Each structure stands twice: as C-alpha cells, then as structure tokens.
Chain A
Amino acid sequence: MPTEARACTASELLCVMSARLLENGQVIFAGVGIPLLAATLAQRLHAPGLTILFEGGTIGPHIVPGQLPPTTNEQRCTRRANMLVSTTEVLLLLQRGYVDVGFMGGAQIDRYGNLNSSFIGPADDPQVRLPGTGGGNDIASLAKMIVAMPQEKRRFVERVDFVTSPGFLRGGASRRDAGLISGGMYKVVTDLALLGFEEETGRMKVEALHPGVTPAQVQANTGFELPVGPGVGFTEPPAAEELAALRRLDPDRVYTA
C-alpha cells in the first residue's frame, strides 16, 4: 500500500474517492460535511464547471477554504453564489430534472440503498428519535444518488428500521412501482470500498476495494451478505495532489479529522 493512502484519514479517503465520481459540467445537490468537501475538491481538481446547489436555496456558491459552512441554510453558504432562491424553488430543481447527482452522508443504509435518519427501533416506540429527513427524502426520490459513509455493521443493515430516503425500496421494480420513476441509488463510497447496485435486483454490490482492503474485511463490517465477485479490483490510492488540495480546503481538519 502506497504511503499516501496509509497516511490519510478515513474521512479523507471518502472525500477523494467521492470526488472522483463527480464529472465536469454536472449539477450537484450537496449536503454539508464530506459531500460538500468532495464536490469542492472535484471542482479544484478535474471539474471546474461543476455547480453545487444547497438546500437552503443557494445556486453555485463559492466555497472559501477554511470557511466551510456548517449547515446548508446559513449565510456562509451564499458567499459569492450565482443566485439565491427559496428552499422550495431549489428543491423543485430536483423535480424539474436539472440535478445530475444528489450527494449525502448516511446514518443507516440497507442492501437496497434505503437510508434511515428518522428512528432507531420501531417508529411508534423508538429507542432514538433522530432529526429526520430534511431534504434527504426529496433528493433520494428525484436524483441519482451518491452516499458517503463509514462502513460498519450497525450502519449497513439487512433492512433499515425506517425508510427515510428511498433507495430501491424492496428491490426489483418496487421503486418504479411506488411512483419514483427517476433517480435512484448510484454509488455508496465507504472507507473500505466503492459500492454500486445491481440493475435488475437493486441489490448492493462491491465495485472496487480500496487499496489493502480484503473481502473478509468488507463482509465483517456489513450486516448483510456482500460478496466480492471474481473480477473486482482495487481503487487507485489517493494521490499526493488530491490530498494536498483537500487539506487546503479543510486546513483545520473540521471534516477530515
């Protein structure tokens, strides 16, 4: 394993691997934290024409290194943006079809890419009431989705306690049949692997392992069967210039510690 990869944190790995998935010219609906950082990194590295949207109503903000906004609704999000609109208008851009990728973090995900950020335990009598969907449900309903999250057994479960943001629901055609005819889960980026979804079944699959990660490690950190197929290779380790650009964006390591 090259020194750069070993020298970076799990969050940095998530940022670099996610940034690589974003393409020049795309319009990205980003949450704060790693999604915003990764989208900004992609802008700096290979996608200068990538546009970021924030849920609060910001189109094309200019992110200042070291001053990443802590929520998508604060004035810091608006600095030198191209346009400010209402929250409803910016969310309607998803429905109108202007958004290429929705990019979020996740608390709990299942094998069909459904995300839960509402309840731990049964919804009528939960062990923990979580903060809820925000715009997550709308983004996951209407856009191609990238989710960045650490891979842990308690986060990668057979079936989420509550479908806050829909992935492929119960697999097969169930998402389309529910009325969600656009968007859907595209990639899940973890600290262990790059994951995708089988087209027919909507089941999660391993597309590539990060350098030095074993199939057994992936399975040990996943609450459902997630085999690594015969042709699956490795991702390229983070390059020195990728990590340097990332560290310039978050010099205080607020999001990449």
Chain B
Amino acid sequence: MSQPYLELRRRTQSRDRSLREKVMSLEEACRFVRDGDHVALGGSTASRTPMAMIWALIRAGKKDLTVSRSIVSTEGDLLFASGASRHILTSWFSQGIVWGVSRVMRGFTESKRAVFEEWSHLSIGLRYRAGAMGVPFLPMRSMMGSDVAARLKDLREMDCPFTGEKLLLVPALNPDVALIHVQRCDPYGNAQIDGLLFMDVDIAMAANRVILTTERIVSNDQIRRAPDQTKIPFFAVEAVVEAPYGCAPHECFGAYEPLFPHMDYYAELTRKNPEAGAKEYLDRFYYGPKSWTEYLNLVGLEPLLDATRRGRSIYAD
C-alpha cells in the first residue's frame, strides 16, 4: 500500500526550515524546478501572475511541466508555445474576457498537442487546500452531474457517513513547486501580500517547494512590525528573488494595473496567426533580452508608468 502522506511529511521534514537568507537571482531559482514537475502558479487571470519566474523558466528551457492555476491568462499561451508545458490544469483559460478566446490555447488543444484539463474553480481551490491540510481529499457539493466532472478521472462520489447526502470528493494537490509573486518579503521568505489573495496561501502550504518573487525585499524588522500581514511563513520558502514589476504585463495590487497597451499588442499579434505570433512574442520578449530589466526596457517606460499610476490609485481614495 502506498503511503503518500508519509512521503509528503518526509519531504517536508527533509527541507531546511531554518531562519536563513535565501535571496538569489531568477536564473539561480530555476534550479528548484525540474523537468516534469507539477508547477502551481499564484495569482489569477492577469493579477499577481509570477511572470518574471515563468519568463526565467521558459528561457532556461524547462520541459514537460504540468502547470496548475485558478485561472490562466497569457502565461498559459506562452507555456504552451515555448514547449515548457503541454498540460495545464485550470478552471478558465484565455487572455481575459475583453480579449475573447485565446487562439493559442485553441490551436494547441484542438490539435491535441497540449491538454487543458478543466476543473471547476472551487474544486481547484479545495484540491490545493486539501494539500495544505495534509489530508488526501476534501468533500464538496458542486460539479456533480456536469460534464466537467464526467471528463475527470480523479474524482469519487460518496454518501456522507453522517447524513447520507451525496458528496463529491476531490483529491489533494501537492505541487512540486509553487511560484508566487508578492508585494514584499524579507530575505528569509516571510511574505506579505496586499489585496486579493486568490489561492496563494493554500498553494504555498501545499507545495513541496516555494519560489517567491517580490516587488521588493524588506528587512526582517519591518516584517516583525506587522506580522499579521505575513501570509506565507519563511520555512515554506526555498528561494526569494527580487523582481520589480515581476507581474508585467499583468497587474500587482497597489503597485501597477495591467499594461493594457501591451496586452492589446499581444492579443493582436496572436489573433491572425496564433502560433507564429506567440513565437514572435517569445523571441522578442523572452529570448531576446539579457535580463529582466532589459525585458522591462523593451516593454517600455511609458506603459509601465501609466500602469503604475493606475495601480497606486487604489490608495488614493
């Protein structure tokens, strides 16, 4: 009989959980992701997407990653188009409602070169939560009777032993690695998140490794002045990377809104010839620049400042 729970604990026990500095570069953090890993992404749609780390992993030529996220936007297109992933598990997959259905996602999935494994939004949340709780499954009351459930193999139904009601059981998801972008954290990985949390805390606690990217690194003293704002504890974190504008062209709460002109440019580029467009985008913005700073330079100061002005306005009310 397999003992996945004891294996999960063994992995956790074997991690260095001491209060130690773990600041490194995007390139160095890539070593925590192996080909074939299950990589969970924090944020949702175009919000707090760990874009800088995804950028680094694609540049590092990672392969066969299974990627999960609550809702997937343009990063999903680029993971498919770069060959980094051929399997994405999510509840919704397209750039965003205003840009319509992703032609890149369509091209790869309709030709069966890649898989979009569709789960309901809540079921993904409960799978991460079960993983974070150290239990093998959680019961829930949605999805039953739908074709979404009918297409999924890893589901069971049961009659509740207390009430007799029919329930759906979703299995725990313990990602190999979680990529999470935050507004600030200290060199140890104590992470503070402003605004919408999405599923990030559960993802971090479910994962076997966490790579944090952060808008800025602050002192441990500053973290200790407001420990109630700390959402991810240092001992769950393997790597801390300072990546300003690390979600661009997506948004980071309180710091910048999406870079809409860049998002429109991407949508236009992938509209007529989706895969050639995505490839052109990768060549220009992913493989071209030598550093994240050079990437931001290519994206351009004007859209960055415009997004920043809009982003900071949340605190102007």
Contact = CB atoms under 8 A, between A and B. Distances in A.
Given A88-B122, A88-B125, A131 B198 contact: no
Given A70-B97, A86-B199, A91-B121, A179 B146 contact: no
A137 B148 contact: yes
Interface stretch (B31-39, B44-52, B232-240): B44-52
A245 B268 CA distance: 35
A57 interface: yes
Contact residue range for chain A?
35 or more
A235 interface: no
B228 interface: no
A95 B92 contact: no
A44 interface: no
Interface stretch (B10-18, B100-108, B215-223): B100-108
A86 B197 contact: yes
Given A71-B97, A118-B118, A132 B90 contact: yes
A133 B120 contact: yes
B271 to A, nearest CB: 15
B151 A86 contact: no
B97 A129 contact: no
Interface string B1-26: 00000000000000000000000000
Interface in A145-173: 162-166, 169
Contact of B143 (A55, A70, A130, A141): A141
A70 B311 contact: no
A131 B202 contact: no
B144 A180 contact: yes
B136 interface: no
Interface string B120-134: 111101101100000
A177 B221 CA distance: 57
B97 A33 contact: yes
Interface string B192-209: 000111111110000000
Contacts of B129: 88
B121 A74 contact: no
A128 B141 contact: no
Interface stretch (B53-61, B160-168, B172-180, B292-300): B160-168
Interface in A215-239: none
A126 interface: yes
Given A56-B44, A78-B196, A163-B145, A88 B251 contact: no
Interface string A117-137: 010000100111111111111
B259 interface: no
Contact of A74 (B92, B143, B257): B257
B11 to A, nearest CB: 23
A58 interface: yes
A73 B201 contact: no
Contacts of A92: 122
Contacts of A136: 120
A142 interface: yes
Contact of A164 (B97, B128, B146, B165): B146
Contacts of B200: 86
Contacts of B74: none
Interface string A18-43: 00000000000000110000000000
A63 B111 CA distance: 41
The 4 closest A-B pairs by CB, nearest first: A178-B145, A88-B125, A141-B142, A179-B166
Interface of B: 44-47, 70-71, 90-94, 96-98, 101-102, 105-106, 109-110, 116, 118, 120-123, 125-126, 128-129, 140-148, 151, 157, 165-168, 195-202, 251, 253-254, 257-258, 311, 314, 317
Given A78-B314, A87-B70, 4 more contacts: A75-B47, A75-B314, A76-B257, A129-B116
